[in-house]
Structure 1
């Protein structure tokens, strides 16, 4: 068959792969995505979207659809069982931070089996081609691109695709990372798990309209119970003996385990599926090689304790998408692509470290020792993590995480959420970003700078302070909402200054 050429080939159609696909297609990039699986995820895992992730999803126009699959606020506890002794309460409504002060986007509680079809449909609406039952057999790369051989599994037909770049989103068991010779390190396998998805009426034992997550430690097993939505569907996952197989978990045994977890001795659950999976903590030594970039679980594997694995995958997809699009459209030099690993790998390491500590605290307290990473503030990790790369012009050497409630708009950090007036209505500064480079300023003298300079007024009087630009300065914000550069006051030649900054951070 005649070779096909696309600008970007994405291998893998999970959260990372479909996010990269969607955000590339949204910017007019010709993208082909392939997956060896029959379709999107069937199991309710990777539940929860932070407001930062929801900011990205609303830019893609899918916020409402994702929220339609979200359960209510989450309660997290470590307990003996659903109704047994509570050892520790991790999260409830009463101690939840005010996310509305940090972002205009909500906190989502949709699971992966709901989110992936939303991303898929939107990607196709935007012109992306997504093929399932299609396996990457091999690939090579040179200075001009990547050549991949693809197998159509149902027919056995082989085709060749030529792409300018390859995004590896083929998961933690994917072959692309290994074929590139990229090693990984970390705590490795932590525990084997059996996941039981079931239906049962537990309305008398779970709070209505809430997502319930209990980490369970009792004499029978260690595991977790999750009540995902209000439609009677739940998940019980337990650590199991590696010598056992799925066949050892028949309906009777699963029912007994569910009854122990819920403290309902006469419960008759409907078992929907039983799966086997491994909890692990891994980090790839590199996130790229030549024209190939790793995203999601291909780049890192994190325990689900903390709910950040899926969020990191979506954010990986967004980051590599806007940077590849800028290069492919001739708006940036290839040096911009080096900022993907420079920025995303430290963040992924922090996510893995935080999640591993959560694993020890919630599942395996006997492992707590000096080698366990120190606690990381959840809000600082989500909203105040620094970006340090050639795509930012920092003002100082301080690269510590920031308290998002007191962030100062420094270059290298997420641009703060401030309510302003734009086009006659109130909006968040966060909603100004995502379609290109934006210059945030209150002074019209900056208007002719070659980037979007929205006309803003500041009813609250907070913009100049939060962004560190006063009434006459300006802040240059990247498409991902990260401040690349700022000036606290008006400069002599605003247009020339901004163009020089862009030439620097975009490697052009």
Structure 2
């Protein structure tokens, strides 16, 4: 029987992110995917600055930017009857409207899932992860010490057994692991069914050149969306279809593309088609024993807003660094309880906000009675807050304006220029204690006693003090994911003892 630390089922954005970050932490991880390769569809396009921060931790941020030059050239989002028809609403006219350079050193990205997944795969394998395609999970069981899984090669039919300490379920919204665990879902459910069409054509001046140009279409013949891709002359069109329709003849697809583009003589070359469902569901639990749900296995959200894939990457990173800490012995198993406590509220805000976007952009008659109000996109991207046992919070605020950071525990560590770089240059690979001064010896002592990767950064600058909320002798402890775990604004009588106690609490030691 093969033995690994972590088995990841599913190699989409969530699964590959988890695999990559686990491998970078030195964890023996095996990932299996039932499909023969990574996604061929440029769905889940776009990376928020938060996702780019995580990609920078892995050293792939520049590669992701490199496969999508549109990231630096602009973004336009329009609600219209067709590409050359009536414009009902222009949601975004330029990416500069989302300038977050005051809050982060990371840019926006615009790459599609089809070009990002190979980058994640390559980095995961470089770091030592095993990734096997055309391999499916047949069954699994868990006990107090681990998970036993039966895998099957879809090419040969051969079955093998794997024993893992933990299982990460990244098998998508239709995956079977969540159901096998008896975990239900709640939410609006299915909203509509669509057929996605990837096609090549010359659309002339219908779309802006060199930028991401997304149209939500509410036309007389159909409701859907159309967007350009990273491949010149290639586009993705999505068209709503009635219940029971699983395919459309190519002639009808061509008619719909012509109606969407207002080009009645267009001869598109269709490269791919596939059915998909717009839905909103959140798992009742994100974990059961030694199994953790990430990405669409944990939540399914409408694509309106581009937050589904970004949330999957965040899930993968969050569970990865926590599993690595427990497997190394840096943390107790209680740290893993913080995964659901932190990621489920994010999923709820993402789904709610995406539903409001869907009503505005695609489904005007969508009934959102009783649904929570949407969260500002900027606050949801960089101003979110974690609340769990892995954070020693000071108050109950849920979000904040990231351009005016408070430095409070649970929020992202503030971005403060340091020389030619940023405070974020020190993050992503260890715990970091920031202070204007007075904690160097304490950090050295605690690091020696615990063996935990803990670094010290002394910055005595007015802007740093203000954004981190620190006075003389104050200190801030930042987690490996860039989240403030604890803050001591005015210093401590026993710095080493205080720091040791704080780490014991947030790491469940």
**TM-score, normalised via structure 1 length:** 0.96
Alpha-carbon spacing, 1:447–1:90, altered in 2? closer, same or farther (3 Å): farther
Match for 2:62 among 61, 64, 77?
64
Q: Following TM superposition, by how much is the alpha carbon of 1:196 offset from its aligned partner in structure 2, in angstroms?
A: 1.0
Q: Following TM superposition, by how much is the alpha carbon of 1:404 offset from its aligned partner in structure 2, in angstroms?
A: 1.0
SS in 1 for 2:98: coil
Q: Is contact 1:384–1:401 with CA below 8 Å preserved after alignment? A: yes
Q: Is contact 2:436–2:460 with CA below 8 Å preserved after alignment? A: yes
Cα deviations by residue, 1:323-350 (Å, 9 ceiling, x for unpaired): 0000000000000000000000011011
Cα deviations by residue, 1:448-470 (Å, 9 ceiling, x for unpaired): 31320024353xx3110100013
Partner residue in 1 for 2:12 = 14
Hey, what's the Cα distance between the residues in 2 that align with 1:249 and 1:276? 13
Runs of 4+ more than 4 Å apart: none
Q: Is contact 1:208–1:230 with CA below 8 Å preserved after alignment? A: no
Q: Is contact 1:210–1:229 with CA below 8 Å preserved after alignment? A: no
Q: Following TM superposition, by how much is the alpha carbon of 1:152 offset from its aligned partner in structure 2, in angstroms?
A: 1.3
Partner residue in 1 for 2:457 = 454
Partner residue in 2 for 1:408 = 406
Hey, what's the Cα distance between the residues in 1 that align with 2:15 and 2:394? 34
Q: Following TM superposition, by how much is the alpha carbon of 1:378 offset from its aligned partner in structure 2, in angstroms?
A: 0.4
Hey, what's the Cα distance between the residues in 1 that align with 2:234 and 2:195? 17
Bigger shift: residues 222-231 or 125-134: 222-231
Q: Is contact 1:209–1:230 with CA below 8 Å preserved after alignment? A: no
Hey, what's the Cα distance between the residues in 2 that align with 1:359 and 1:483? 33
Q: Is contact 2:349–2:374 with CA below 8 Å preserved after alignment? A: no
Q: Is contact 2:112–2:230 with CA below 8 Å preserved after alignment? A: no
Residue pairs, 1:25-44, within 5 angstroms: 25-44=23-42
Residue pairs, 1:99-118, within 5 angstroms: 99-118=100-119
Q: Following TM superposition, by how much is the alpha carbon of 1:229 offset from its aligned partner in structure 2, in angstroms?
A: 3.0
SS in 2 for 1:155: coil
Say whether 1:428 aligns with 2:429. no
Residue pairs, 1:205-216, within 5 angstroms: 205-216=206-217
Q: Following TM superposition, by how much is the alpha carbon of 1:471 offset from its aligned partner in structure 2, in angstroms?
A: 4.1
Partner residue in 1 for 2:48 = 50
Cα deviations by residue, 1:151-209 (Å, 9 ceiling, x for unpaired): 11111111110000000001011111000000111111110101111111224221111
Residue pairs, 1:378-389, within 5 angstroms: 378-389=377-388
SS in 1 for 2:455: coil
Hey, what's the Cα distance between the residues in 2 that align with 1:265 and 1:417? 51
Cα deviations by residue, 1:245-286 (Å, 9 ceiling, x for unpaired): 31x331x22221111111122222111111111111110000
Say whether 1:182 aligns with 2:183. yes
Structure 1: which 5+ residue stretches go unaligned?
A: none
Hey, what's the Cα distance between the residues in 2 that align with 1:314 and 1:97? 21
SS in 1 for 2:65: helix
Structure 2: which 5+ residue stretches go unaligned?
A: 448-453
Partner residue in 1 for 2:451 = none
Bigger shift: residues 227-236 or 88-97: 88-97
Partner residue in 2 for 1:477 = 478
Cα deviations by residue, 1:89-146 (Å, 9 ceiling, x for unpaired): 1112176132111111110000111111100010000011000111111111000000
Hey, what's the Cα distance between the residues in 1 that align with 2:90 and 2:352? 21
Q: Is contact 1:438–1:478 with CA below 8 Å preserved after alignment? A: yes
Hey, what's the Cα distance between the residues in 2 that align with 1:147 and 1:7? 12
Residue pairs, 1:3-402, within 5 angstroms: 3-70=1-68, 71=70, 72-93=73-94, 96-229=97-230, 231-246=232-247, 248-250=248-250, 252-396=251-395, 398-402=396-400
Hey, what's the Cα distance between the residues in 2 that align with 1:139 and 1:245? 31
Q: Is contact 1:54–1:106 with CA below 8 Å preserved after alignment? A: yes
Q: Following TM superposition, by how much is the alpha carbon of 1:375 offset from its aligned partner in structure 2, in angstroms?
A: 2.4
Bigger shift: residues 492-501 or 120-129: 492-501
Q: Following TM superposition, by how much is the alpha carbon of 1:382 offset from its aligned partner in structure 2, in angstroms?
A: 1.1
Hey, what's the Cα distance between the residues in 1 that align with 2:263 and 2:157? 50
SS in 1 for 2:365: helix
Hey, what's the Cα distance between the residues in 1 that align with 2:311 and 2:493? 40
SS in 1 for 2:499: helix
Partner residue in 1 for 2:450 = none
Q: Is contact 2:74–2:95 with CA below 8 Å preserved after alignment? A: no
Aligned residues: 497
SS in 2 for 1:401: coil
